[in-house]
Amino acid sequence: MTETDDHRCDVARCVDTTRADAPLRHMVTVLDTQESFACRSDESLLAGMVRLGKRGIPVGCRGGGCGVCRIEVVRGDYVRHKMSAAHVDATDLSNHRVLACRIVPAGDLEIRVLGRMAQHVCAPPATDSAG
């Protein structure tokens, strides 16, 4: 996989699927729920999930900053964009533990959800790291 300097995947681009350079679609399977969705090669995995109204991965800042969308990529290739070092360290990266809002599928993927939204305002649980 490669890391790019792109600030975010270009979800803003309006895509004409009849064009020769139209983005590819890759199947993403969430192993926790066995749900699958087709993610475009020009949007983040999380953006693809949200666009189709699917659930499973917690959705937070969508900029690689808050850490709630942490996943493990069990199988498949992807492109990784910058993400907060407060949530993902070198060991995480080499074990394909990444933030779903900052990776773009480069083929079909199987993933597991690691991140969690804290559930209750009165008893905020500890989160994994600062940032």
Partner 1 sequence: MALRGVLRAGEVAIRVMDMKAARQHYGDRMGLHEMMTDDTGRVYYKAWDEHDHHSIVLREADSPGMDYFAFKVFDDATLTTLEQKLEAFGLQVERIEAGVYPKSGRRIQFVLPSGHTMQLYAHKEQVGNTLGLVNPGVVPDEGVIRGFRINRLDHLLLGGGHLDENVRLFTEVFDFDLGEKLVDHESGASLAVFLSCSTKPHDIAFVLQPQQNKFHHVSFLLESAHDVIKAADMIGKYRIPVDVGPNRHGVTRGATIYFFDPSGNRNEVFAEGYVHYPDTPTLVWDTRELGQATFSQDNTPRESFLTVLT
Residue 53 binding partner per list ligand FES, partner 1, none, with a CB distance cut-off of 5 to 8 Å that depends on partner kind: none
Q: How far is the CB of 56 from partner 1 (least distance, A)?
A: 15
Residues at the contact surface with partner 1, assessed by CB under 8 A: 5, 7-8, 11-12, 59-66, 68, 82-87, 117-119, 121-122, 124-127, 130-131
How far, in Å, are 9, 44, 91, 127 from residue 66 at the CA level? 17, 16, 19, 10
Residue 118 binding partner per list ligand FES, partner 1, none, with a CB distance cut-off of 5 to 8 Å that depends on partner kind: partner 1
- By beta-carbon proximity to partner 1, the closer residue of 53 and 125 is 125
